[in-house]
A and B are shown apart, each in its own frame.
Chain A
Amino acid sequence: MSIAPSALPIGMRGIEKRFGSVAVLRDLNLDVEAGEFLTLLGPSGSGKTTLLMILAGFVRANAGSIRVGGDEIITTPPHKRNIGMVFQNYALFPHMNVFHNIAFPLKQRGVAAAETAERVEKALDLVKLQGLGERRVDQLSGGQRQRVALARAIVFEPRIVLMDEPLSALDKGLREHMQIELRALHRRLGMTTVYVTHDQREAITMSDRIAVMNAGRIEQLDKPETLYARPQTRFVAGFIGESNFIPVECRNGSVWYEDRRIHTAAPTPAAGRHLMVVRPEKLQLLANAEPASGVNVLEAKVSDIIYQGDSFVCYAALRDGRQLTLRDYCRSDVLAKMPAPGQPVSFGLDAQDTILVAAD
């Protein structure tokens, strides 16, 4: 990824926000690198949108510092922050056509008419809306509006672009298509981007790094693959990807599930109760009870098998009644040893894929 010369890093320190007696953000610290695509991911009410609004200047924090490059902007009014933003509902100006919507930020900056026309044309090219400048906003499809909003947010070459769930109003196919386009556009322009979504799949697809937010804090900030492979909290493990949680105990330097020792690649955590995170696609059906070394075995009884075309899902219950889910592709070797509901079955989980998180 090339870092555009205009891209700037953001440093947030000690951001606090309360609405009345409700704390929405608590002592939040976050560094966004120059040119990075960083996603704030979390359920509704986690504070991700509030953080974005504070960044844009629409919401005033109770405490904290935001530095862009070296400059403190926490008290800078929104129209002087020079930050582009794409709104959830696009917030296009209904009384202006596409051209004037996109030209709006240039007009505010006193850009000459000829240059404005040229830059708007370029922005329209960039979002693949060539020749639609004269269209009225209400004559555009959802996807086209999305592109206009995007063009408007980048046409003035802001140092930073914020996006507030910009794809949530689009249908699935278009959304996935736009994810790829947004990603490509970011690669090309290289502006520092802070993206808000509650869709973990979207976050994983698009981001350089993801900050998972919960209850006004950042639970974990990592690359998508690290977040998935090494979630540090139960919340992160549960929010990103599917998981079954199995309670385990650490004693004498080993990990135990009931009377079975669990092998892990990671160092054994402190003594006490923990949770083992089991991802459905990491489980394998074992043909015999003698697994290879370093594979944890879990015995269960099949309760249901759901066929999904390219894959299937096998639901099973452990002896203590806990649910386990296995997902695998419909390869003939797997299908050959497919158990029937009610049958006992052994699941294998490689030590490399065995994740432990603190029980809360």
Chain B
Amino acid sequence: MSAQTALMQQKAGRPGPDLNTQALHMDARRESLRLLALLSPSLLLVFAIIIVPIGWLFWLSLFDEAGALSAANYARFFEQASYIKTFITTFKVAFIVTGACVLLGYPLAYMLSQLPRRAASICLIFVILPFWTSVLVRTYAWLVILQRKGLINSWLIDLGVISQPLSLANNFSGVVIGMTHILLPFLVLPLYASMKTIDTDCLRAGMNLGAGPAATFRQIFFPLSLPGLASGVVIVFVLCLGFFVTPALMGGGKVIMWAMRMEQTTSLYSNWGAGAALGVVLLVVTLALLGLFQWLLGARATGVWSSR
């Protein structure tokens, strides 16, 4: 067919290889524009409540007290040994609390996932119940329980187990106990949800193929629960890094975490930038750590995740 006849055909609206290509192309473009328009409110929201404040935080951190561009807010971390200490304390607490949450939360989530539906939902209510009271109230409650003349020490002394009260509050262990209690549900809930999705037939298959209960748990149930455990661990760990109330009240002033230092620094230096710099550092380190975590877990977990 010559070009001319093809053109003629097209003009006549008869079938040809280029029939309506232009119109279809325009239609596709209009559709993607419409999609963008529909997305725009949420994009705008994300921009307004996430990108802008973080950008502003970063911007502020670059100015000193006099309002001049300077790296003083960051240089401080190296000049003052206390920041490094705080940083180490913060991550130490986060690691230990996350570890404690895993040790306590995994068996709890496992038990919940094995209970009949009714019993499980009742137990879940007890897991979620603490969410209904404020962190402050729960922290004070722990203070009442753990302090020298608190419930635990009184009981232990009355029972003759100990003669001198244990130091459970106003120190590192107090912070760990209080934070573990508050953060435990954040680990249990995603873990429980992921355990519930594990196919019971997979476990039956494991036993059928010769793995005893322990081997089935180790080789099948546990690996399949890892994605849920990972998301729980990430949530708990990140929340730990930003914790304020519990370490402030339970730490006896000796356990200074990053968020407490932000508050101190902001008021000490009469400069938002001083606190902002701390925020930026925590954000960057946290993101880097999450990236590392993802990378470490990636090879192993992608198979599990994508098959869901």
Contacts and interface: CB of A to CB of B under 8 A. Distances in A.
**Is A–B contact present in the complex under a CB 8 A cutoff?**
yes
Interface range for A:
20 to 34
B208 A79 contact: yes
Interface stretch (A84-92, A176-184, A232-240): A84-92
Interface in B186-243: 199, 201-202, 204-213, 215-216, 219-220, 223-224, 226
Contact of A95 (B201, B209, B211, B304): B304
A79 B307 contact: no
B67 interface: no
Given A89-B199, A138-B306, A138-B307, A95 B223 contact: yes
Contacts of A58: 204, 207-208
A58 B219 CA distance: 19
A221 to B, nearest CB: 25
A6 B204 CA distance: 24
A210 interface: no
B224 A87 contact: no
Contacts of A105: 209-210
A88 B205 CA distance: 11
Given A136-B307, A138-B303, A93 B220 contact: yes
Interface in B279-308: 300, 303-304, 306-308
A105 B210 CA distance: 6
Nearest to A78: B207
A82 B307 contact: no
Interface string B41-73: 000000000000000000000000000000000
Contacts of A137: 303, 307
A58 B306 CA distance: 29
B201 A87 contact: yes
A95 B224 contact: yes
A209 interface: no
Contact of B208 (A83, A88, A109): A83
A77 interface: yes
B303 A94 contact: yes
A91 B210 contact: no
B205 A79 contact: no
Interface in A103-134: 104-105, 108-109
A43 to B, nearest CB: 22
A81 B209 CA distance: 9
Interface of B: 199, 201-202, 204-213, 215-216, 219-220, 223-224, 226, 300, 303-304, 306-308
Given A89-B201, A91-B201, A105-B210, 13 more contacts: A78-B204, A82-B210, A87-B205, A91-B202, A91-B204, A94-B303, A94-B308, A95-B223, A104-B211, A108-B209, A108-B210, A138-B306, A153-B209
25 contacts: A56-B208, A58-B208, A77-B212, A79-B211, A79-B212, A82-B210, A83-B208, A85-B205, A87-B205, A91-B199, A91-B202, A91-B205, A93-B205, A93-B206, A93-B220, A94-B303, A95-B223, A95-B226, A95-B303, A105-B209, A108-B210, A108-B215, A137-B307, A138-B303, A156-B209
